[in-house]
Amino acid sequence: MTKLPWLNLTRTVRFGDTDAAGVMHFHQLLRWCHEAWEESLELYGIEAKAVFPGCRGQERWPDTALPVVHCSASFKKAVYGGDRLVVTLTPQQIDQGCFEVRSQFLLNNQNVAAGLIRHVAIHTETHQRCPLPDAISLWIEAAQIGQVREL
Amino acid sequence: MTKLPWLNLTRTVRFGDTDAAGVMHFHQLLRWCHEAWEESLELYGIEAKAVFPGCRGQERWPDTALPVVHCSASFKKAVYGGDRLVVTLTPQQIDQGCFEVRSQFLLNNQNVAAGLIRHVAIHTETHQRCPLPDAISLWIEAAQIGQVREL
Amino acid sequence: MTKLPWLNLTRTVRFGDTDAAGVMHFHQLLRWCHEAWEESLELYGIEAKAVFPGCRGQERWPDTALPVVHCSASFKKAVYGGDRLVVTLTPQQIDQGCFEVRSQFLLNNQNVAAGLIRHVAIHTETHQRCPLPDAISLWIEAAQIGQVREL
Amino acid sequence: MTKLPWLNLTRTVRFGDTDAAGVMHFHQLLRWCHEAWEESLELYGIEAKAVFPGCRGQERWPDTALPVVHCSASFKKAVYGGDRLVVTLTPQQIDQGCFEVRSQFLLNNQNVAAGLIRHVAIHTETHQRCPLPDAISLWIEAAQIGQVREL
């Protein structure tokens, strides 16, 4: 597991994330995965407006959009309100215009859940597939170098 | 209370709307208020793309945007998963460029909660205040005629 | 594809389901999958309180809980606010104590997205794996008979 | 404004908090208000399980529940994805068994939005009104002493 700080986040489960069974409602985890990705980009130094449409001070949207084409999540242990989770991100480039981010959720060093989000890059105007934006490629590369260093 | 069908909706509380206290999590009600307004417009015959940005087949966004400037909600009785609520909408024009929609939530003819959302009209381009779009004015007017008829 | 009415639902995409890219925000689909399952049970005649904890008038929680252990979703076409989707459910029993529900989302007879939620049955008290509750087994069986009939 | 660190939080607006108009979707603010309250309790030193039901290791629920009876929000300026907001909380006891928390949201020292959540205390078993739990009273009192000190 990498120890790069911008790939190792924390998240406290909030009361509104739970349901009447008394545990986290399942789809909240995928919201956390996306938010963890956004937080990681921010910590690494990529501004939201370089990647996401609809940001303050954007004269126009970024040339490339990154729609989600697939996501999944697995739940191993119940997660409760107040739980303080460690979230570890592992990005991987799939091809020139596709990448995915795995998120491991740990409580006291135990895996409790994992999620995955896969994005493709498309031209904002034409909606045609295109290469990943440089900022995202750099972030993925830096994550992999971080993993190599620990070997 | 009006009996116009497009102002009297139903909503079943879903499991994901609840929290670990076993009842509806409070802010879901404001989501329901907005969704009830959208459903009412739809039932009255106003297409989403006439009012909301980002709809299919829109060559450009509507000239007028309707941002929320205020909202509130009051909770009188606990609402549980599986509850089948009646939602009654009462729109009111506040001034030429401002309106609000009250939503009453009833279970077995008892008020359990109420919400209010106030919107202003602004030009999409300039963000300056402007009159309400015709479609919204017609919907508000039709709602008030419906209320008069019952007197 | 089955034509049983309680496996073929409709859902209009609401404005709050979208994000600043102008299309449905990805994880909303998994919320819709769970809500479609709940609606299907309701239409088939199973009361929420027979399956879900935290319902009105429940003297105690159902003996069996059905936590989600896995979910996934794939997105083929952009989905916009105001889109009126058909949602077709296909339940499948995996083993005595595990089942999954696939949801196909169609717009004008075109697949736009699909989701899957897998549940296991556990005793509410002991958290040990156990067989599915009868109501769920009946619902799955009835769905498969519906599919056979169409052959 | 108080400078107590556990009443002054930050929150970055995430992409999934926006809608197709390109700005924060209104009801997310009330989610943030509740989450900010939870974070403030945590920072002050009150464990989630002392206040909220459904937490890990709780032998039973807290004796007192704190349902929301009213909430409201006002929106002064558009809030965009990526905005880094300062959230300032001001709790106030209304009577022996009722309190509210105001949340001011600032961007670059400008008020952009404000929210309010009012809770009452009820016995978990009987649902009768009762005094606030000690932990909450202490938190409110400490907040007010913090405000006095700055005079």
Q: What is the 3-state secondary structure (H, E, C) of D76-93?
A: CCCCCECCEEEEEEEEEE
C-alpha distance from D146 to closest chain B C-alpha (Å): 29
Residues paired with residue A103 on neighbouring β-strands, in sequence order: A89, A115
What is the reported pLDDT for A146? 75
- Mean pLDDT over C28-37 rounds to 98
Residues in chain A whose Cβ is within 8 Å of chain C: 19-23, 26-27, 30-31, 34, 52-55, 65, 67-75, 78, 117
Size of interface C-D (CB pairs under 8 A): 29
**Residues of A labelled as active-site residues:** 19
The helix/strand/coil state of C90 is strand
Helix B28-44 × helix B134-149 angle, to 10°? 90
Test the B interface: residue of D33, D68, D100 with most B CBs within 10 Å = D68
Residues of chain D in contact with residue A54, where contact means CB-CB under 8 angstroms, are: 15, 18, 22-23, 80-81
CB contact under 8 A, B71 and D27: yes
Start-to-end Cα distance in chain B? 10
Beta-sheet strands, E only, within D8-151: 8-12, 64-65, 68-75, 84-95, 98-107, 110-120, 122-123
Query: Whole-angstrom Cα distance, residue D72 to residue A50?
Result: 33
- In this prediction, residue C3 has a pLDDT band, given cuts at 50, 70 and 90, of confident
Tens of pLDDT along D76-109? Answer: 999 999 999 999 999 999 999 999 999 999 999 9
- R_g of chain A computed on alpha carbons: 16
CB contact under 8 A, C19 and D23: no
Test the C interface: residue of A17, A58, A71, A127 with most C CBs within 10 Å = A71
pLDDT of C149 over the 90 cut: no
What is the reported pLDDT for D2? 56
Tell me the ipTM for this assembly. 0.95
In terms of DSSP H, where are the helices of B14-96? 28-44, 48-51
Tell me which H or E stretch contains C37: helix C28-44
For residue C80, give the nearest of B38, B42, B55 by CB distance.
B55
Residues of chain C in contact with residue A69, where contact means CB-CB under 8 angstroms, are: 74-75
Beta-sheet strands, E only, within chain A: 8-12, 64-65, 68-75, 84-95, 98-107, 110-120, 122-123
Residues paired with residue D9 on neighbouring β-strands, in sequence order: D87
Task: Please compute, for residue A5, the number of CA atoms within 13 A of its CA located in the half-sphere on the CB side.
Answer: 4
Give the residue on B whose Cα is nearest the Cα of D72: B72
Tens of pLDDT along B76-112? Answer: 999 999 999 999 999 999 999 999 999 999 999 999 9
Residues of chain B in contact with residue D54, where contact means CB-CB under 8 angstroms, are: 19-21
Active-site choice (C19, C63, C95, C134): C19
C-alpha distance from D83 to closest chain A C-alpha (Å): 7
Instruction: Classify the phi-psi angles of D109: left when phi > 0, otherwise alpha if psi is within -120 to 50, otherwise beta.
Output: left
- In this prediction, residue C11 has a pLDDT band, given cuts at 50, 70 and 90, of very high
Residues paired with residue A72 on neighbouring β-strands, in sequence order: A116, C72
Give the residue on C whose Cα is nearest the Cα of D27: C16
pLDDT of C110 over the 90 cut: yes
What is the reported pLDDT for D150? 55
Query: Whole-angstrom Cα distance, residue B9 to residue B103?
Result: 10
* Residues across chain C: 151
What burial class does residue A143 get, using C-beta atoms within 10 Å of its C-beta: 0-12 exposed, 13-18 middle, 19+ buried?
buried
CA C48 remoteness from chain centre? 13
Instruction: Classify the phi-psi angles of C90: left when phi > 0, otherwise alpha if psi is within -120 to 50, otherwise beta.
Output: beta
For residue C69, give the nearest of A19, A54, A74 by CB distance.
A74
Residues of chain B in contact with residue A15, where contact means CB-CB under 8 angstroms, are: 19-20, 25
- Mean pLDDT over B52-68 rounds to 95
Residues of chain C in contact with residue A117, where contact means CB-CB under 8 angstroms, are: 26
Residues of chain B in contact with residue C47, where contact means CB-CB under 8 angstroms, are: 82
CB contact under 8 A, D15 and C18: no
Residues paired with residue B128 on neighbouring β-strands, in sequence order: none
Q: Helix, strand, coil proportions of chain B in percent (round to 5)?
A: 30, 35, 35
What's the CA dihedral at B130, B134, B137, B138 to 10 degrees?
Answer: 180
What is the full per-residue pLDDT of chain D (151 aa) written as tens digits? 557 999 999 999 999 999 999 999 999 999 999 999 999 999 999 999 999 999 999 989 999 999 999 999 999 999 999 999 999 999 999 999 999 999 999 999 999 999 999 999 999 999 999 999 999 999 999 999 877 665 5
Q: Which chains would you list as touching D if contact means 3+ CB atom pairs under 8 Å? A: A, B, C
**Backbone CA torsion sign across A141, A143, A145, A147:** negative
pLDDT of B1 over the 60 cut: no
Query: Whole-angstrom Cα distance, residue B2 to residue A14?
Result: 39
What are the backbone angles phi and psi of residue B84, rounded to the nearest 5°? -105, 105
Tell me which H or E stretch contains B94: strand B84-95
CB contact under 8 A, D19 and C19: yes
Please say if B19 is a catalytic residue. yes
pTM for the whole structure: 0.96
C-alpha distance from B23 to closest chain D C-alpha (Å): 9
Tokens at A56, concatenated:
């303050």
CB contact under 8 A, D16 and C19: yes
What share of chain C in percent tops pLDDT 90?
92
Give the residue on B whose Cα is nearest the Cα of A79: B20
